[in-house]
Structure 1
Amino acid sequence: MDSLEPELHIFDEIIRLSTKIEDGTPTRYHLNQNAVDQSEPYRTMTYGERDTSKTHKTIMMVGETGTGKTKLINAMVNYMLGVKRENNVWFEITDDQSNRKQAFGQTTSITVYGFYLQESPIHLTIIDTPGYGDMNARNEKEIAMCLLKLSKFHDWIHKVDAVCLVVKATQNRISDRHIYIFDAVQSLFGKDIVENIVLLVTFSHGAYPKNILTAIEEATFQCAVNNENEPVFFLFDNCQGETFHEEYQMIREQSWNVSFRGMTGFLKFLDSIKPKPLQMTQHVLQQREQLDKTISEIKSHIQKIKDSENFEVEVTYKEKVAIDRSKASMAMCCTVCEENCHYPGCWWVSNLSWCSVMKNYHCTACTNKCHYSQHVKEEKIYVTKKKMMTNKDLQKSNVKIVDSVSKKLEELRELKTQKMKLVIDAFHCVRTLEMIALNTDSLITLQHIDFLIDELKEIQEPEKTERLENIKRRAGKEKYKVLKYMKMYYQ
């Protein structure tokens, strides 16, 4: 009997309930989950039955596409199962990512893996977010919205023990793309969670990850730090689940050792850190959603105002013209009512109060029965005319505004009032995020700053304008350089 067979027997039942993926060293199996819920924009997949009396840890995995999150999740599962290198087996809880995209489309954002092995001392929930950086800002927004729904409507995910930023050890420089990704990740959370954010460094051969730590520092990424004030990190190799030929077993052993040490250290960290509730993170996500919605509404109102300001109406107005001398030589006209009170048939008199249409010094003919002093006797009369006029023409003219025009102007004033309120609401969203968000100068916020500054200036809010100008100055030129990159590639 092979000396490895007794060790392998402990996995007989797990293997029996799994699906073989590939023979080899190691032989790969897919763990058949006992529950898969695809009814939400996120999905949940569980293995085993959760025991509420056991210690439970919830971790979230975030990072750039291609950093190896999927393999890392499987490495965690094998560690929890107690798999050793000499067992020559490898279990996977994740599915094929290409199938996942085909089945759920681009809108799939989050998968929640519940790993509840009865033999394990702890139960683990892994919130797996899709990779960042797929040249589509909509994906990042969907991740945020799915996380918000997940934290609000699943009472068993109301706190998180660790947020794991997965990064590659081979990354040796920081680009605008990486800064954007790091910024987007930080923009998900409240500032109370910073000490629970750690780095999981993949594709590592066990060496000190100087390059990636330098990149993290350059990107001003906020996370937990150790006694040397450097980011807390754990190293993992990503190839222990791959099939190795006999001559490469030394590399396989090294891979296992690196990941085993990393997982041991990471679980010790989970034991030492206090989990954080997601209320503040919920608030951050709600404020970001509200800011985007409010900015969109402001822009919609601006367009409506432009359309309303450009309206054209048929206006009825009075204009004085010369009398037809064949009909009369004089006319008594009211300048207030713009009416011809005595025409034709009016004769010259030295005192207008003597005119036959006057009684007790007031006109008996005009609509308002005006005083005789409001009248004139001359060789002109009022004629009713019609013409099309724009709003701007009306504002420049002395034409009396009729009811239909008055209604349009009232609607315009109401739109401007609503827009003003929305601008103030957007400002308060930014101020709230400045107080509670981990990433106070998020690119998500900065993309709206210039627009809001202009709108605040228009409604004459100098103090609020200055507050946003301070945020802009604090962000600095480098972030605006990344913002330009983001608008170019991720809109």
Structure 2
Amino acid sequence: MADSQISLVHGSEDLYTSMGNQLEEILRNCTLKKGTFSRYILNTKTVIDGDRLKRETFGEKNESKPHKTILMVGETGTGKSTLINSIVNYMLGVQWENKIWCEIIETKENQPDSQTNTVTVYDVFVEKRQFSFTLIDTPGFANTDGIEKDANIAETLHELFRSKDGVPEIDAVCLVVSAKMTRLTNFQQQIFDAVLSLFGVDVEKNIVVLITHAQNKPVNALKAIKASQVKCAKTPKGKPVHFCFDNSHCEEFQDDDEDDEEETDSAEKNHKYKELWVKNEKTMKDFFAFLNNATSINVKLTEHVLRKRKQLTASITNLKDRITLIELRKTELKQTKAALEKCEKEKKNKNDFECEVEEPYKEKVPVPSRRWLLGKKATCCRVCKENCHYPGCWWVRDLRWCSVMSDGKCTVCTGKCKYTEHVKEGKMYVLKTRKVKKTIKDLKKKYEVESGEKMSLKRRLENEIKMYEREKNKLVDDSYQYIISLEEIALNPTAVSTLQHLDFLIEKMKETKDNKREQKFQELKKKN
């Protein structure tokens, strides 16, 4: 830890006179990193330190002050961490003349591409400001882990929004992009879609774009945002509400070779960086003016959207498995029927009939290690023998509180069974097939049940195939209705978790020959 002499590193004994008490505290007690500026790593108090969610506080909470909450979203490499530090410095009232730089997220040389691996919540309480704020930093994801990390972030934010001591309101959702961008990459689109799909339609006016590395007017970046049709607040002229920052001067804060520079070069650099500081400060004022005027969004609707999305996404995943099982059963019946027809055609004795078919069955196996990033446990129904929620609610022990449960019953499995019929463990059901031999005796035992009319085995097989086809069509229709339900409540109905099933559903909708609904799925796919 630094001692009180650290405050004099620039030879200014009256440095404190231009600062508030909180900055004095920082200079006395926070860790110092020397460089062009004196960098101080803020002492934060860790409240939550989990694998997926961390929460840290800085300063003393004042219940009488208004509170603002910001959610930051951005691809790896956009300068999101540096931007967060800039916000903290502005809140602390750090001036250029102070020659210091405070970091709530420590920047390190040769740091990995993504410094943030968890959702991290920073609660910042500043004496000099009229309000305190909470900043939610999401991982710079989608460059390596894609869908798996999207699901983890959704789960973590859901827990944050629904917990008693979580986040009750959101004032701004900030989409962070670089001015160097000419179009949104698939990764960026995936990031924004994944996060925006968590919210209800009421949050659109609170979404703004923060553009980093903006040395000049970011014309191309703005065109890219507009072309991507990302949901965000708009100006009266229909342009995305955005704020431009250039924190390139922060890259020099770690440089300790200042003494080796020519005096002229150092003076020019100092002048350039001061201009950047002043420019950023003005933009920060504009951004905080937006925050002050923004209407806070109660996350109750967001929590409802998250819960509903998880129920519907889990249902779509479950329906996909059930549709696949039906198709496997139809294949088995068709193989049996073809063998019977061949027997009849060749006029063989039916008592000697025997055929080999692919019989589908379910087996419960350990969750594959390749899927552990999603979660190591699945919630399954022991009665229906179906996977009801994977990845499941990792924080839930009592399954009545699982997101797919409603009024104590599962919203996903075929029988809509009670939560007590479910188990959460490191195993899940998988569909498999095996070769089995069937004889005429086996078929008679299954199909020649006494009924009002005599029906041939072949006819009974045909009827069962038709029954499975009707059941499959109903499941495809259910999937369609679920996605339409999401479209009605969510800002972005097609998150990656839903999109991964769209190709499958489009294929099945084609088989039902419902061109209108197939077209609807195609349109949703094109939007993303």
Tell me if both proteins adopt one fold, taking TM over 0.5 as the criterion.
yes
Q: Counterpart amino acid of 1:23?
A: K
Q: Percent identity?
A: 35
Superposition RMSD in Å: 4.0
Q: Counterpart amino acid of 1:129?
A: T
1:19 matches 2:31? yes
Find the residue that maps to 1:455 and give its secondary structure: helix
1:391-446 deviation digits (Å, cap 9, x = unpaired): 6999x998784435789x99999987876664344222201121122224656544
State the shift of 1:232 in Å.
1.2
Name 1:66's counterpart in structure 2: 77
What is the distance in 2 between the residues matched to 1:113 and 1:165? 18
2:506/2:521 contact within 8 Å kept: no
1:122 matches 2:102? no
1:63-142 aligned within 5 A: 63-95=74-106, 108-137=117-146, 138-142=148-152
| TM-score w.r.t. length of structure 1 | 0.70
State the shift of 1:473 in Å.
3.7
Name 1:403's counterpart in structure 2: 445
1:192-341 aligned within 5 A: 192-205=202-215, 207-241=216-250, 242-243=252-253, 245=258, 246-247=266-267, 248-305=269-326, 308=329, 309-310=331-332
State the shift of 1:87 in Å.
0.6
What is the distance in 1 between the residues matched to 2:168 and 2:471? 36
1:146 matches 2:156? yes
What is the distance in 2 between the residues matched to 1:32 and 1:196? 31
Q: Counterpart amino acid of 2:73?
A: V
Find the residue that maps to 2:70 and give its secondary structure: strand
Q: Counterpart amino acid of 2:522?
A: K
User: What is the aligned length?
Assistant: 402
What is the distance in 1 between the residues matched to 2:20 and 2:66? 27
The partner residue of 2:519 within 457, 469, 490 is 469
What is the distance in 1 between the residues matched to 2:108 and 2:473? 46
What is the distance in 2 between the residues matched to 1:44 and 1:414? 53
Cα 1:153–1:428, aligned 2, differ >3 Å: closer, same or farther?
A: farther
What is the distance in 2 between the residues matched to 1:280 and 1:97? 39
Q: Counterpart amino acid of 1:388?
A: E
What is the distance in 1 between the residues matched to 2:446 and 2:115? 50
Cα 1:475–1:134, aligned 2, differ >3 Å: closer, same or farther?
A: closer
Find the residue that maps to 2:135 and give its secondary structure: strand
1:56 matches 2:67? yes
What is the distance in 1 between the residues matched to 2:195 and 2:276? 28
1:432 matches 2:474? no
Cα 1:100–1:37, aligned 2, differ >3 Å: closer, same or farther?
A: farther
1:161-176 aligned within 5 A: 161-176=171-186
Q: Counterpart amino acid of 2:272?
A: I
1:29-44 aligned within 5 A: 29-39=40-50, 41-44=52-55
| TM-score w.r.t. length of structure 2 | 0.66
State the shift of 1:95 in Å.
4.0
Find the residue that maps to 1:50 and give its secondary structure: coil
Cα 1:236–1:101, aligned 2, differ >3 Å: closer, same or farther?
A: closer
What is the distance in 1 between the residues matched to 2:103 and 2:282? 20
1:201-224 deviation digits (Å, cap 9, x = unpaired): 11123x332111111111111211
What is the distance in 2 between the residues matched to 1:100 and 1:30? 16
Find the residue that maps to 1:72 and give its secondary structure: helix
1:2 matches 2:44? no
1:18/1:29 contact within 8 Å kept: yes
The partner residue of 2:355 within 378, 389, 394 is 389
What is the distance in 2 between the residues matched to 1:162 and 1:24? 33
What is the distance in 1 between the residues matched to 2:159 and 2:92? 31
What is the distance in 2 between the residues matched to 1:286 and 1:461? 32
Find the residue that maps to 2:248 and give its secondary structure: coil
1:167/1:199 contact within 8 Å kept: yes
Q: Counterpart amino acid of 1:165?
A: L
1:441/1:471 contact within 8 Å kept: no
2:351/2:440 contact within 8 Å kept: no
What is the distance in 2 between the residues matched to 1:146 and 1:441? 19
State the shift of 1:71 in Å.
0.7
The partner residue of 2:193 within 168, 173, 183 is 183
Q: Counterpart amino acid of 1:435?
A: E
2:350/2:440 contact within 8 Å kept: no
State the shift of 1:178 in Å.
4.1
Gaps of at least 5 residues in structure 2 are: 1-10, 259-265, 341-348, 360-435, 450-460
What is the distance in 2 between the residues matched to 1:429 and 1:406? 39
1:249-306 deviation digits (Å, cap 9, x = unpaired): 0121022112101111111101111011223333333344334423332343344345
- Kindly name which structure, 1 or 2, has the bigger radius of gyration based on alpha carbons: 1
Find the residue that maps to 2:321 and give its secondary structure: helix
